[in-house]
Structure 1
Amino acid sequence: MKVRFTLAFSLVCLMFFYTGALTAQYEFVYGDPLPDAPELSARGEHTVGVRTINLVHKDQVDILNSKGGKDAMYDRPLTVEIWYPADVPAGTEVSVNYEEVMGTRGDTLRPLVPFSFKGRALRDATPKSGTAFPLIVVSHGYVGSRYLMTYLTENLASKGYVVVSIDHTDSTFKDANAFPSTLLNRAKDIKFVINEMARLGGSDSKDQLAGLVDDENTGIVGYSMGGYGVLNVGGAGYSDGAAAFFGQMTGGSTAIASLAASNPEYQNSIDPRIKAVVAFAPWGMARGVWDAEGLKGLKKPTLFIAGSQDDISGYEDGIKAIYKGAVNADRYLLTYKNARHNVAPNPPPVESLAPGLHIDEYYRYADSTWDQRKINNINQHFVTAFLGTHLKGDDNSEYLTIPENSNEKDWPGFKPRSSTGMELLKADGLE
């Protein structure tokens, strides 16, 4: 009996020693590949730099302080995070700590809980020179932050993109405010940031980003309310019903009318520099934000990504209905079977597991069915294939052509037995 106990104890000690040694050698960072990660999820050839800048969008409607149908005006602050290909001396540790919070605003809603997590980028590294890289602008959900999808922003920057993620004022964990601000400003913020990046990254700029940004090849990526925003920027004008509802919410403001499909000026405002749209779980269709005519205005190639059990944006009457209605766009719909709304964020932070925290701190990130790390890897794969096709002219057709309901054989680029539980639909636009 004593011999058996000694042998068992030795095996346990050996297991802990091996696990500890492995942990010391390798630390999982958001976006790192799991053993079954698909082919295009791997990071690219570029070392990634990251910097934070503060922008000001002057003379905007201050919808939260407008009264009686008369719009107040203000200078709207926006903080953005920029990831980019960088020149980094050999031997430099490429690591960054992102400072984030859980909770919502912290006063009348849920307390703010600070936490940090690591990334594989170098803060304020020198940008690569001599090449302009396609631009990608990323818009988070309500509530969220510019750090909600670092697994994707870092990954894309490593593949030769300048990636800019916005902290949408009045929509972040720290400053969440009344919903009309998000409804009005989401698309406006995205357009403004595209223009600011074109200015800062232009060849005649005095900024560190000078010459780095190819804004003529721009992709826009949005999640939830970010999806609501990028679809509008891409050409899907809001319905007259949505504009009327906004007016009721705000005491008669017509500020959102410029984003409505029925506005003659709206279609003239669609930016030709935008070559591709990625919409994760876009919100609004089930609430009447779009009608058939509005969806016909979306003519940019679009990748929709959704969970079949999305209980926030809706699936059949929400995201899939947008996909079906956007008849003039070449489009894809990637569906995670039995997933809910959270098909875009980073994995849940370890701090969200602490006893006593509201479960929504965990469910701000986690899916109830899927491993979020696996979702992250699959997103990296398909977003890489899609954006590479439309922003760089890559031939990724083999990765984007999957027979409907195909779980009978492995999908191109996927490890054996790893491509189950998903569906990828494709439809060509009529124009």
Structure 2
Amino acid sequence: MKKRSFQFVLAFLLLTGTLVSAQPVDAGFINGDLLPNAPELAARGSYGVGVQTLKVVHPAQVDVLHGSAGQHPKYDRPLTLEVWYPARVPANKPATVTYQSTLGRSNDPKRPLIPFTFQGRASRDAQPDPSGGAYPLVIVSHGYPGSRLLLTYLTENLASKGYVVVAIDHTESTYSDLAAFPSTLLNRALDDGFVLNEMARLSGKGSKSFLSGLLNADNTALVGYSMGGYGVLNAAGAGYSPQALKLFGQMSGGSTALESRTQGSPAYPASPDPRIKAVVAFAPWGMERGVWDATGLAGLKLPTLFIAGSKDDVSGYEKGVKAIYEGAVNADRYMLTYLNARHNVAPNPPPAASMQPGVAADEYMHYAEPAWNEHRINNINQHFVTAFLGMQLKGLDYAKYLTVPTGDPAEGWPGFKPRMAVGLELRHAKP
């Protein structure tokens, strides 16, 4: 489309208030597509991608938002899941899907809920492709607030490479049902564990689910962003500190419901679920608040990839994500740092709906990075997560992509085009 025509279409959409999708109108660019300077492993794999939505219920959970300390009622906790998987996509069927999401905050009148749509490269309800056997499982946990659709550039990409990927809408922590923070503090790791159990059940031979025989829950990775990172680290063995329990009690009127997830609790498992083989933690929250101490971080023994911005002003960097990386002394761990990036190093780029007249600037800034191109970040994340999970879950020979480079990044890193690794740092530490 010529520049003048594109400007006319854009002006018309803005003047009429018509809802536009997240990709540029003139290029048909969809979240996760490759920029010309994308690193090697960002490219999609050979599988078609299907997507389905599931509803599950975690019964008899502590309702920390109601009652009082030690007197909380129980409730059946509903969870909505989005599942991406290798699929047989007919040649005559467009491999695109329209996702429905929301801007705003349900508990903030100044940020009203604004439904919007955006496009993805997957086929809704497509027939699964069992040709790869039982695929590794990847469970994805969003931030606070967030949604199961916050990282579609990554979830679709991994499914195209032979993974079953399930992203959770954490109840009381999404844009549309946002509730008080204690629910998020308590339920993140619990939701992750329950979803792992549900995926194992649905993949069983006796299941009538489309997932029957499609995935191997014994070969699972957890991926979390911000509060999702807080949860997946705990689910993987990093027990919370006494300070975390104190903080939780202050926020929840003295409740001790989080105690079972602390390192000192007899109820906290001595080791993580053995089905979990690896962890990816984007900008995990909590270290600056004392959520972990040396004892708790020593409980993390799984291979872990941390991804952070050096100017993170939500989770912190030197005393936040980097301190977690340095304190997890029993894990084979990597840390990718985006220099001068803040907290938004994980999500999709800002949707076009966040740029509409009258929409609060906070909706755009919830996704945006001030010093980085968000599509560029997405491609780099695809590359490194592919390398890391390929090594840990599939035994692929991708070590060179995670070899800590020496010298000037402008001279090139494995898998990067010349001059295109500027602004990145990569660390590696072994137990």
TM-score interval, normalised by the smaller of the two chains: over 0.9
Give the letter aligned to residue 254 of structure 1: T
Counterpart secondary structure, 1:237: coil
Q: Which structure 2 residues correspond to residues 255-294 of structure 1 after superposition, within 5 A?
A: 255-268=257-270, 270-294=272-296
Counterpart secondary structure, 2:267: coil
Q: Which structure 2 residues correspond to residues 228-239 of structure 1 after superposition, within 5 A?
A: 228-239=230-241
2:206 to 204, 207, 216: 204
Q: Distance in 2 between matches of 1:277 and 1:107?
A: 33
Q: Distance in 1 between matches of 2:65 and 2:6?
A: 57
2:385 to 359, 365, 383: 383
Q: Which structure 2 residues correspond to residues 72-221 of structure 1 after superposition, within 5 A?
A: 72-105=73-106, 108-130=109-131, 131-221=133-223
Unmatched 5+ stretches in structure 1: 1-12
Q: Distance in 1 between matches of 2:108 and 2:371?
A: 32
Alpha-carbon contact 2:410-2:420 (below 8 Å) kept: no
Indicate the percent of aligned positions where both proteins have the same amino acid: 62
Q: Distance in 2 between matches of 1:290 and 1:178?
A: 22
Q: CA deviation at 1:245?
A: 2.1
Q: CA deviation at 1:405?
A: 6.2
Alpha-carbon contact 2:409-2:419 (below 8 Å) kept: no
Q: Distance in 1 between matches of 2:383 and 2:389?
A: 10
Q: Distance in 1 between matches of 2:27 and 2:265?
A: 55
Q: Distance in 1 between matches of 2:101 and 2:385?
A: 25
Q: Give the total of aligned pairs.
A: 415
Q: CA deviation at 1:106?
A: 5.8
User: TM-score, normalised to structure 2's length?
Assistant: 0.93
1:346 to 348, 373, 376: 348
Q: CA deviation at 1:196?
A: 0.2
The runs of at least 4 consecutive aligned structure 1 residues that moved more than 3 Å come to: 13-20, 23-26, 106-109
Cα deviation, 1:294-331, whole Å, max 9, x if unaligned, reads 00000000000000000000000000000000000000
| Residue 253 (str. 1) matches residue 255 (str. 2) | yes
Give the letter aligned to residue 378 of structure 1: I
Q: Distance in 2 between matches of 1:62 and 1:269?
A: 26
Q: CA deviation at 1:353?
A: 1.2
Counterpart secondary structure, 1:215: strand
Give the letter aligned to residue 62 of structure 1: D
Shifted more, 167-176 versus 129-138: the winner is: 129-138
Q: In structure 1, what is the equivalent of residue 327 of structure 2? A: 325
Q: CA deviation at 1:68?
A: 3.9
Counterpart secondary structure, 2:50: strand
Q: Distance in 2 between matches of 1:65 and 1:17?
A: 55
Q: CA deviation at 1:193?
A: 0.4
Q: Distance in 1 between matches of 2:107 and 2:266?
A: 42
Alpha-carbon contact 1:47-1:87 (below 8 Å) kept: yes
Q: CA deviation at 1:135?
A: 0.2
Alpha-carbon contact 1:69-1:250 (below 8 Å) kept: no
Give the letter aligned to residue 331 of structure 1: R
Q: In structure 2, what is the equivalent of residue 61 of structure 1? A: 62
Greater C-alpha Rg: 1
Give the letter aligned to residue 42 of structure 2: S
Q: CA deviation at 1:402?
A: 2.3
Identify if the C-alpha distance between structure 1 residues 403 and 189 changes in structure 2 by more than 3 Å, giving closer, same or farther: same
Q: CA deviation at 1:107?
A: 5.3
Identify if the C-alpha distance between structure 1 residues 154 and 114 changes in structure 2 by more than 3 Å, giving closer, same or farther: same
Alpha-carbon contact 2:237-2:270 (below 8 Å) kept: no
Q: In structure 2, what is the equivalent of residue 7 of structure 1? A: none
Unmatched 5+ stretches in structure 2: 9-23
Counterpart secondary structure, 2:409: coil
Q: CA deviation at 1:269?
A: 5.9
Q: CA deviation at 1:241?
A: 1.3
Q: In structure 2, what is the equivalent of residue 363 of structure 1? A: 365
Q: Distance in 1 between matches of 2:2 and 2:219?
A: 54
Identify if the C-alpha distance between structure 1 residues 319 and 405 changes in structure 2 by more than 3 Å, giving closer, same or farther: farther
User: TM-score, normalised to structure 1's length?
Assistant: 0.93
Shifted more, 260-269 versus 294-303: the winner is: 260-269
Shifted more, 356-365 versus 233-242: the winner is: 356-365
